[in-house]
């Protein structure tokens, strides 16, 4: 099974309202949901995420449309009347969208920052916490494990809340969540970020950088 990961970086966007032309091309209901966010930074990242999803659909699932974007009761997104399965993640200037055919996938991207590790112990079982603390770079290990957990929850269609994070148990490259085992892999999109992809089976990943200018030229 192949998973395509499309990603864009907003670092070079000098106009603070660069995202407005893209926002106006999204379905009206999607625009309304995005505009509800007060922070222009959050708005821009969500606009870019949905635009990357549309680009991925056009490339991999011709005929599928953002007009058919829906949510399950736990708020897991999906495209109605399509076999496309996707996951969007963003952190600071980086936005990414993973897409696959007929198989749920989860993607999490995090910008690496200094972190007070003791504050995060409650989210890990004893085995995982010991592995983090004994790693050559505990902070890097923490971010790896954290993205593995969030990616798994997305692949499972669950919300990202504290209890769910605690229910994910990392065993090597696998994450155990209830009765299911998810396969994860670390992917490198940009320097200073870490990302993990999760699925129920091992996958091949193809990473595709998409300049924002290319998205602008589409419409």
Q: What is the CATH number of the domain that holds 43?
A: 3.90.470.20
State pLDDT tens for residues 191-202: 999 999 999 999
Is residue 71 pLDDT above 90, yes or no? Answer: no
Number of domains the chain is built from: 2
Q: Do 217 and 195 have their domain in common? A: no
Concatenate the DSSP letters of all residues of 38-55 into one string.
S-HHHHHHHHHHHHHHHH
Q: Do 1 and 101 have their domain in common? A: yes
Q: Do 64 and 138 have their domain in common? A: no
Sign of CA dihedral 52, 209, 143, 13: negative
Structural domain of 139 = 106-202
State pLDDT tens for residues 133-172: 999 999 999 999 999 999 999 999 987 776 689 999 999 9
Q: ∠ CA 70-72-75 to the nearest 5 degrees?
A: 90
The structure's pTM equals 0.95
Q: Do 150 and 213 have their domain in common? A: no
Instruction: With beta carbons less than 8 A apart as the criterion, state whether 74 and 55 touch.
Output: no
Q: Do 64 and 84 have their domain in common? A: yes
Instruction: Classify residue 194 by burial, with Cβ atoms within 10 Å: 0-12, 13-18, 19+.
Output: buried
């Amino acid at each position: 099974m192949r998973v395509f990961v499309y990603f864009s970086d907003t670092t070079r966007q000098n106009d603070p309202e660069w995202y407005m032309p893209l926002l106006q091309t999204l379905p009206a209901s999607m625009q309304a949901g995005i505009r509800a966010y007060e922070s222009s930074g959050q708005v821009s990242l969500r606009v870019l995420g949905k635009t990357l999803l549309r680009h991925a659909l056009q490339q991999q699932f011709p005929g599928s449309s953002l007009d058919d974007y829906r949510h399950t009761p736990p708020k897991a997104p999906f495209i109605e009347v399509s076999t496309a399965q996707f996951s969007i993640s963003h952190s600071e200037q980086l936005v990414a969208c993973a897409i696959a055919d007929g198989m749920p996938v989860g993607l999490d991207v995090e910008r690496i920052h200094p972190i007070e590790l003791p504050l995060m112990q409650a989210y890990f079982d004893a085995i995982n916490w010991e592995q983090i603390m004994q790693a050559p770079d505990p902070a890097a290990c923490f971010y790896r494990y954290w993205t593995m957990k969030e990616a798994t929850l997305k692949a499972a269609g669950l919300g990202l809340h504290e209890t769910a994070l605690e229910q994910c148990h990392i065993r090597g490259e696998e994450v155990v969540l209830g009765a299911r085992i998810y396969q994860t892999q670390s992917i490198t999109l940009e320097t200073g970020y870490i990302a993990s992809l999760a699925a129920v089976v091992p996958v091949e990943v193809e990473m595709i950088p998409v300049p924002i200018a290319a998205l602008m030229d589409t419409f």
